[in-house]
Chain A
């Protein structure tokens, strides 16, 4: 079946521009996660949704980062006034059920954001 799909695959933005990154989770998956991965590092957690509710945004690095999942399926990560330190791969993952179940996370291949 179809996996987690992310678009665009690559994004180049000039410093100060706003960007929007899209995630299409596996159909019917309740939980959705966003991660940020800098070059040579492991992925770092940004935020978590259960259906349309954003239950954890503790990893968002600043108020320039905003995520939404209005209908409980597709999610968008928005970064306002991009800075060079925002350059990274942004990964989206989904899992079948909500908290307490040990269903594994399934990741997309990410969006590579380069801020010039």
Chain B
């Protein structure tokens, strides 16, 4: 089962920051948080991942709370092309290192 909880949907105005929350209260000390997004009819696209420090790349920023029980993905200037389903995933540290997806947050960016 997925180890994360996300709101089913969010709206954001174009040009504004989109802040997508995720709860992962049962995360273990060596488990990373990954974020992917999926635009209609495409495969999931990797965005960013982190362990305990905040991370930033050309797509987004990831803020992880000090207790690691929650995180926020920030898209600093949302565009219409950022409309997608966003998945927050705690990577499984079992035999496979597979990603276990939940149902994600459907982000709608409006003009």
Contacts and interface: CB of A to CB of B under 8 A. Distances in A.
Interface of A: 4, 31, 33, 35, 41-45, 48, 55-56, 91, 93, 99-102, 104-110
B91 A109 contact: no
A104 B49 CA distance: 8
Contacts of B13: none
Given A55-B96, A56-B95, A56-B96, A104 B46 contact: yes
Nearest to A107: B43
Interface string B70-111: 000000000000000101000100011111111110000000
Task: Give the contact-size bracket for chain B.
Answer: 20 to 34
Interface of B: 2, 32, 34, 41-46, 49, 85, 87, 91, 95-104
Contacts of A104: 34, 46, 49
A109 B42 CA distance: 5
A55 B95 contact: yes
Most chain B beta carbons < 10 A, residue from A33, A99, A100, A105: A105
Contacts of B49: 102, 104
Contacts of A55: 95-96
A55 B95 CA distance: 8
Nearest to B45: A107
